[in-house]
């Protein structure tokens, strides 16, 4: 099964090899010399054949960003790598190599046909990203566990499978097992699976398949729940209020608060702590709900802005198209009129007139673009003011609510300190009847010790509240700044592209006029 290193030196893909392959497989006949002279951009190549090249390592393919078909069979490749940029790949042939593990295919989400025939693969895995996979060739490998077939059930589009030449193919139940567990398969080892075989396989493995389906259903339900939770969390993060729809912030205040957890054992602190938590969580929920509402307002503002921008650009483009269409209609008449003239003086007059028409079109198109730039600048500035005001209002109100959290913490701190000092006095007088854990009693050595313990707990809580507020404010401001900067940069780039388009078109028209020589016209 292993391809041996022969007398030819093992090779690594490099620029020279790829360029040579592209030239050899490029256009032939009349187009061939022109393509070789001007060069073929790797990003324009759709199909590439690199078989029988004694390639040891896959490399340097990052420029082939639009490649659809890649042939790497009959080499000495040991590892699947260097394919991460080929996201448009549909067909991949890695057969007749020395590959031991399936890997390096995570970005090939459009792959439909994969051949790993005649390698040294012992396990089918790491294909999860290939959701469009229809054809899989794994014949002549070292796959010996029938459980590998179960893994393939996740590929709903898989219709053709080849596993002949593997240890599992020697199993008496090989074909029946595959037909039962992969019921949508149409071809196995290059032979069509008929309905009779599918019925027999389903009957034989019905009990096991029912159990597997139930397990898959439960697994899928858990995945769906987790996906839904992640989607919700994503929405909350966009609104900058994630984890504020519950007790997460409150719980985090006590997660690292050793002294506060000890003080919770004091008489009366349990009830005090619960009341504090209830009020604190209500404020967090208020922040959360307010944040979601404000996010909807920001989204509406942004959507409205984008619609206005697109409408303005589209209307401007339509005006430009109408002027160009009118010019081109006149352009054909002007060229015909020049060609029909036999008098040199009349030809020169027509050429001058045509040149003036080109200049007039240039001025019209540039004026339209200038008006659009002014219109968009005004719209962008208005949007910037609106979104900045929304963000400022959001931050101001959130800070007000966070201040309420701090007020609650200060009130709790005062009550906790009062209870702690009263407890110390009772301990000193021997009036404390409640049993306290030893580490809690250790705090009540003197007043300074207990005051310091309560103060340390208070500082931790305030720090958590401050950090969450700072994080929200920083992220919100950063989002706003980045959004506005991006909009301004996008408009600058749009304007530059449009000016370049206008100049290129006008240059083309002018060159066409310049190439119209009087002598050719007279001839």
pLDDT for 492: 95
**CA-based nearest residue to 87, from 66, 71, 70:** 66
Q: How many domains does the chain divide into?
A: 2
Residue pLDDT, tens place only, 197-225:
999 999 999 988 988 889 989 998 999 99
Strand partners, 137: 115, 162
- Residue 419 belongs to some domain of the structure: no
pLDDT for 34: 41
Q: Which domain holds residue 109?
A: 11-210
Residue pLDDT, tens place only, 181-195:
999 999 999 999 999
State the Cα–Cα distance between residues 336 and 350, nearest whole angstrom.
Answer: 10
State the Cα–Cα distance between residues 388 and 379, nearest whole angstrom.
Answer: 14
- Residue 516 belongs to some domain of the structure: yes
**CA-based nearest residue to 126, from 155, 100, 106, 154:** 106
- Residue 428 belongs to some domain of the structure: no
Are 39 and 122 in a shared domain?
yes
Last residue of a domain, one of 210, 229, 263: 210
State the Cα–Cα distance between residues 399 and 402, nearest whole angstrom.
Answer: 5
pLDDT for 27: 60
Task: Inform me whether the pLDDT recorded for 39 exceeds 80.
Answer: no
Are 133 and 261 in a shared domain?
no
- Residue 457 belongs to some domain of the structure: no
Are 61 and 130 in a shared domain?
yes
pLDDT for 33: 46
Are 103 and 164 in a shared domain?
yes
Are 204 and 266 in a shared domain?
no
Task: Inform me whether the pLDDT recorded for 309 exceeds 90.
Answer: yes
Are 172 and 294 in a shared domain?
no
Task: Inform me whether the pLDDT recorded for 3 exceeds 60.
Answer: no
Average pLDDT of span 55-63: 92
Q: What CATH code is carried by the domain that includes residue 31?
A: 3.80.10.10
Non-local (6+) Cβ contacts of 24 within 8 A are none
Query: SS3 of 491, please?
Result: helix
- Residue 359 belongs to some domain of the structure: yes
DSSP labels, 323-359: HHHHHHHHHHHHHHHHHH---HHHHHHHHHHHHHHHH
Cα 84 to Cα 13, 27, 63, 103, 181: the distances in Å are 15, 27, 11, 11, 31
Torsion angles phi and psi, residue 493, rounded to 5: -65, -40
Average pLDDT of span 415-444: 86
pTM (two decimals):
0.72
pLDDT for 432: 77
Are 292 and 155 in a shared domain?
no
**CA-based nearest residue to 331, from 502, 519, 499, 512:** 512
Are 143 and 260 in a shared domain?
no
- Residue 368 belongs to some domain of the structure: yes
Average pLDDT of span 281-307: 97
Burial class (CB in 10 A: 0-12, 13-18, 19+), 178: buried
Q: What is the mean pLDDT of the chain?
A: 89
pLDDT: is 181 or 339 the higher one?
A: 181
Are 148 and 103 in a shared domain?
yes
Are 200 and 75 in a shared domain?
yes
- Residue 15 belongs to some domain of the structure: yes
- Residue 430 belongs to some domain of the structure: no
Strand partners, 57: 12
Are 296 and 154 in a shared domain?
no
Are 34 and 154 in a shared domain?
yes
In this structure, are residues 65 and 83 in contact, taking their beta carbons and an 8 Å threshold? no
Burial class (CB in 10 A: 0-12, 13-18, 19+), 321: exposed
Last residue of a domain, one of 188, 210, 232: 210
Residue pLDDT, tens place only, 232-268:
999 999 999 999 999 999 999 999 899 999 999 898 9
Q: Are strands 160-162 and 187-188 parallel, antiparallel or unpaired?
A: parallel
Last residue of a domain, one of 182, 210, 238: 210
């Amino acid at each position: 099964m292993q391809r041996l290193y022969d007398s030819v030196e093992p090779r690594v893909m490099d620029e020279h090899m790829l360029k040579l392959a592209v030239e050899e497989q490029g256009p032939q006949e009349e187009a061939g010399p022109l393509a070789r002279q001007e060069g073929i951009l790797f990003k324009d190549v759709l199909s590439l054949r690199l078989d029988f090249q004694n390639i040891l390592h896959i490399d340097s393919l990052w420029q082939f960003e639009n490649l659809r078909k890649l042939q790497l069979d009959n080499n000495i490749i040991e590892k699947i790598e260097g394919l991460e940029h080929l996201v448009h790949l549909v067909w991949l042939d890695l057969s007749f190599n020395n590959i031991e593990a399936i890997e390096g295919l995570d970005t090939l989400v459009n792959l439909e046909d994969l051949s790993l025939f005649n390698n040294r693969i012992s396990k089918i895995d790491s294909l999860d990203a290939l959701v469009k996979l229809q054809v899989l060739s794994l014949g002549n490998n070292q796959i010996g566990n029938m459980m590998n077939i179960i893994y393939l059930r996740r590929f709903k589009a898989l219709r053709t499978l080849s596993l002949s030449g593997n240890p599992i193919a020697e199993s008496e139940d090989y074909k029946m097992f595959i037909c039962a567990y992969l019921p949508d398969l149409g071809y196995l080892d290059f032979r069509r699976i008929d309905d009779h075989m599918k019925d027999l396989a389903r009957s034989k493995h019905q009990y096991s398949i029912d159990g597997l389906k139930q397990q898959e259903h439960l697994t899928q339900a858990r995945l769906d729940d987790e996906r839904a939770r992640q989607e919700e969390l994503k929405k909350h993060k966009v609104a900058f209020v994630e984890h504020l729809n519950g007790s997460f912030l409150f719980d985090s205040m006590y997660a690292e608060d050793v002294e506060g957890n000890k003080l919770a054992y004091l008489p009366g602190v349990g009830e005090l702590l619960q009341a504090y938590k209830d009020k604190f969580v209500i404020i967090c929920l208020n922040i959360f709900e307010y944040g979601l509402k404000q996010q909807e307002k920001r989204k509406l503002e942004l959507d409205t802005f984008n619609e206005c921008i697109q409408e303005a650009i589209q209307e401007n483009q339509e005006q430009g198209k109408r002027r160009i269409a009118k010019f081109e209609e006149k352009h054909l008449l002007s060229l015909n009129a020049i060609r029909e003239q036999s008098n040199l003086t009349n030809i020169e007059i027509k050429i001058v007139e045509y040149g003036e028409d080109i200049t007039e079109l240039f001025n019209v198109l540039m004026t339209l673009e200038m008006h659009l730039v002014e219109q968009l600048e005004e719209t962008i500035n208005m949007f910037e003011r609106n979104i900045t005001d929304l963000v400022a209002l959001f931050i101001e109100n959130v800070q007000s609510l966070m201040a309420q959290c701090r007020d609650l913490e200060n009130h709790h701190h005062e009550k906790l300190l009062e209870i702690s000092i009263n407890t110390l006095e009772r301990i000193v007088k021997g009036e404390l009847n409640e049993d306290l854990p030893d580490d809690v009693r250790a705090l009540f050595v003197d007043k300074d010790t207990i005051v310091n313990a309560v103060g340390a707990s208070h500082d931790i809580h305030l720090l958590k509240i401050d950090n969450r507020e700072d994080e929200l404010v920083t992220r919100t401001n950063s989002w706003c700044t980045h959004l506005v900067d991006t909009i301004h940069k996008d408009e600058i780039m749009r304007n530059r592209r449009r000016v370049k388009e206008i100049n290129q078109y006008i240059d083309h028209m002018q060159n066409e006029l310049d190439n119209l020589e009087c002598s050719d016209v007279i001839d």
